[in-house]
Chains A and B, each alone.
Chain A
Amino acid sequence: MTDTSSHAAPLAFLSPEAFQARARAVVENPALQGSFRGAMDFLMQKRAAQFPHSDQLEELRTLSEAIRQHALSRLPDLLEQLEDRLTRNGIQVHWAETPAEANAILLKLCAEAGAKRVVKGKSMVSEEIEFNHACAAAGVDALETDMGEYIVQLAGEKPSHIIMPAIHKTKEDIARLFAEKLPGVGYTENVDELIRIGREVLREKFLEADVGLSGVNFAVAETGTLCLVENEGNGRMCTTVPAVHIAVTGIEKVVEKLEHVAPLYRILTRSATGQPVSTYFNMISGPRRPGEQDGPEEVHLVLVDNGRSQAYADSQLQRTLQCIRCGACMNHCPVYTRIGGHAYGTTYPGPIGKIVSPHMLGLHATRVLPTASTLCGACGEVCPVRIPIPDILLRLRGENQGAAPLPAPQEHRHPLPEAGSGRKPLERLAFGTWAFIYSRPVLYRSFLWLASRLRQLTPRHQGGWTDHRVPLKPATRTLRDRLRERSAR
Chain B
Amino acid sequence: MSARDRILARLRAAQPAPTDAKALADLLAAGVLLGEPGGEDSLADRIASFRAAMTASHGEVHDATEANWPDLVAQLCAAKGIPRLLVGQNTPHGVRLAAANHPGLEFWAGALPGKPGNSKAEHREAAAWKERLFHHTPASLTQARGAIAETGSLVLWPDAREPRTLSLVPPIHFVLLPVAQIHRSFHGLLRKEGWGTATVLPTNALLVSGPSKTADIQQTLAYGAHGPKELIVLLVHPAPQSGDQR
Contact = CB atoms under 8 A, between A and B. Distances in A.
Interface of A: 38-39, 42-43, 56, 59-60, 62-63, 66-67, 69-70, 73-76, 79-80, 83, 95-97, 101, 113-114, 145-148, 151, 164-167, 169-171, 174, 191-192, 194-196, 198-199, 202-203, 206-207, 220, 222-223, 225, 231-234, 236-237, 239-241, 243-244, 251, 258-263, 265-266, 273, 276-289, 291-295, 297-298, 303, 305, 309, 312-315, 318, 412, 414
Contact of A60 (B2, B11, B33): B33
Given A266-B186, A309-B14, A62 B7 contact: no
Contacts of B35: 266
A482 B141 CA distance: 84
A196 B131 contact: no
**Chain B at the A interface: mostly helix, strand, loop or mixed?**
loop
Interface in B17-34: 17-19, 21, 23-24, 27-28, 33-34
A167 B219 CA distance: 8
Contacts of B13: 313
B216 A151 contact: yes
A199 B228 CA distance: 11
18 contacts: A74-B15, A79-B8, A80-B8, A114-B116, A147-B216, A166-B217, A207-B131, A231-B214, A237-B227, A260-B28, A262-B187, A276-B53, A280-B206, A280-B209, A293-B163, A313-B13, A313-B14, A414-B14
A95 B7 contact: yes
A57 to B, nearest CB: 9
Interface stretch (B39-47, B66-74, B93-101, B194-202): B194-202
Contacts of A287: 203
A164 B217 CA distance: 9
B201 A283 contact: yes
B195 A223 contact: yes
Nearest to A283: B205
Given A83-B4, A285-B203, A309-B11, 12 more contacts: A75-B15, A76-B8, A79-B11, A95-B7, A174-B218, A191-B220, A206-B134, A207-B134, A222-B197, A240-B204, A277-B53, A280-B212
Interface residues of B, number: 81
Given A95-B7, A191-B222, A232-B213, A244 B112 contact: no
A66 B23 contact: yes
A274 B150 CA distance: 15
Interface string B145-169: 0000011110000011001110010
B10 interface: yes
B204 to A, nearest CB: 5
Given A237-B168, A279-B212, A63 B203 contact: no
Interface string B210-246: 1111111111101011111000000000000000000
B216 A166 contact: yes
Given A207-B130, A289-B203, A195 B16 contact: no
B111 interface: yes
Given A225-B196, A279-B213, A231 B205 contact: no
B180 interface: no
B113 interface: yes
Determine which residue in A63, A261, A276, A318 has the highest number of CB atoms from chain B within 10 A of its CB, and name it.
A276
B12 interface: yes
Contacts of A279: 57, 208-213, 227
